[in-house]
Amino acid sequence: MTALFNWLSQIGAVTWFGLRTIVQRGGSSASAVVGIAGVVAVLVGVLSMAQGILSTMDNSAAPDTVVVLRSGANTEMMSGLSREETKIIADAPRVARGADGPLSSAELFVIINLPKRSTGTDANVPLRGVEPPAFLVRDNLKIVDGRRFERGRNEVIVGQAAAREFEGLDLGADLEVGRNTWRIVGVFTEGDGVSESEIWADAGVLQPAYQRGDSFQSVYAKLDSPDGFEEFKDALTTDPRVSLKIQSQADYYGEQSTILVTLISTLGTLIATLMAIGAVFGALNTMYTAVAARTREIATLRALGFGATPIVVSVMLESIVLALIGGVIGGGLAYVAFDGFRAATLNWSSFSQVAFAFDVTFTLLVIGVVWAAVIGLIGGLFPAIRAARMPVATALREQ
């Protein structure tokens, strides 16, 4: 026990002395801190973009809502359903019913081009045709300005995120799409869900405008209970009249976001890794400078009986402390700069824009600090070994 206490005391004494001299090496120490802070800020910032997209998809998914497509289709763009098929889906067991019938909305999904407010460049924006039950299926959707569109009229409502991101979507404006003109009569929210990136119209008006006949692309239905999903799915998959792909809304949106989230996360990690390599060299330079400046001090400690291990540990701890300072600064900068920042990007599954808010979570901040600690650990390892292996007699003669 005495030996252990002595060993820990040596580590504490050497580490404390090294930390007190950081100010004397302010230039090199600051460069290491700034480099690591930059790595963490970029990593957390990019990952918060992916987290924001995931949060947007999660906010859209209700546990009792299902999405039905044609069998083999992965997106609404690839799907096609007849009127008869949508009626079979609406009449399936476990579909919730309201005063006017099943809570099942057969829908169309088309893409239109609108300029982005930020850049003026054209972007793909979803235009969705819905049936009246759509407002009951998505029961968290609220009109925050104006009113709902009237059936049979060239009127649309726009998501709050879409109105914010794209030009020409102001309340009361006329939206010209091809040969058709639509009056914007309302703005809606959906709890920061994906529908806020869309424009909604009456499916019965959108069908002839895009020569879709009496066909649809998807059905969104609300079940009487989340537990009814398997019964609902089994009833339709065993029905010989239809060939359908049935998913919970959570699974559908999760599948839609996979490509985009993976792409962003991979790219962000790659960029951060390249920056981290540079930060490691910065930490190495800082700690080699620290060891060189303390050559005689370290040799004197060794001559007084301090072991090699406390020297190694103290140098590495000093490096990690500098790295953690950089990590905390970088995480703080990422939080201030990115958390809640709103943007829109292309969803590679639907080839349309999805608006979202960057989401800097506590988990991402922890990941950033862990990256900083690893950089500091690697950056301090080799200088620490050099300090421990330094011949005492030679080091004492250095000026």
Task: Give the closest residue to 349 by CA, choosing from 157, 149, 109, 176.
Answer: 109
pLDDT band at 399 (very low <50, low <70, confident <90, very high): very low
Q: What pLDDT, in 10s, does the model give residues 243-275?
A: 999 999 988 888 887 877 888 888 888 888 888
Per-residue pLDDT, averaged over 107-124, amounts to 89
- Would you list the DSSP string of 228-241? GHHHHHHHHHT-TT
How many whole angstroms from its chain centre is CA 29?
Answer: 33
In this structure, the strands spanning 142-146 and 122-130 are unpaired
Q: What is the mean pLDDT of the chain?
A: 84
Token pair, residue 318, equals: 């000093």
Phi, psi (degrees; rounded to nearest 5) at 42 = -65, -45
80 by DSSP, 3-state: which? Answer: coil
Share of the chain above pLDDT 70, in %: 81
The pLDDT score that the predictor gives to residue 398 is: 53
More confident residue, 22 or 209: 209
Name the more confident of 205 and 60: 205
Query: Which residue in the block uniquely carries the two structure tokens 């924001």?
Result: 52
Whose tokens are 């546990």? That residue is: 63
Cα-based torsion angle of the residue sequence 374, 375, 377, 380 in order, rounded to the nearest 10 degrees: 180
Instruction: Spell out the residues 6+ positions from residue 17 whose beta carbon is closer than 8 angstroms to its own.
Output: 297
Whose tokens are 């104006």? That residue is 146
H helix and E strand count, the chain: 12, 16
pLDDT in tens, 324-383: 888 999 999 999 999 988 888 777 677 677 888 899 999 999 999 998 888 888 877 776
First to last CA, the chain: 38
Find where tokens 């982005």 sit: 116
CB 137 within 8 A of CB 193: no
In angstroms, the CA 199 to CA 194 distance is 11
Q: What mean pLDDT comes out for the span 207-228?
A: 92
* Cβ atoms < 10 Å from Cβ of 379: 28
pLDDT above 80 (res 323): yes
DSSP 256-320: HHHHHHHHHHHHHHHHHHHHHHHHHHHHHHHHHHHHHHTHHHHHHHHHTT--HHHHHHHHHHHHH
pLDDT at 229 over 60: yes
Q: Give the pLDDT band (50/70/90) at residue 288.
A: low
pLDDT tens-digit map of 59-105:
778 889 999 999 999 889 899 999 999 999 999 999 999 888 999 99
| Coil vs helix vs strand at 203 | helix
Domain ranges of the chain: 2-58+257-397, 72-242
Bridge partners of 345, per DSSP, are 354
Tokens encoding 123: 């972007």
4-40 per-position pLDDT tens digit = 555 566 556 556 655 555 555 556 677 778 888 888 9
C-alpha angle 262/266/271, rounded to 5°?
150
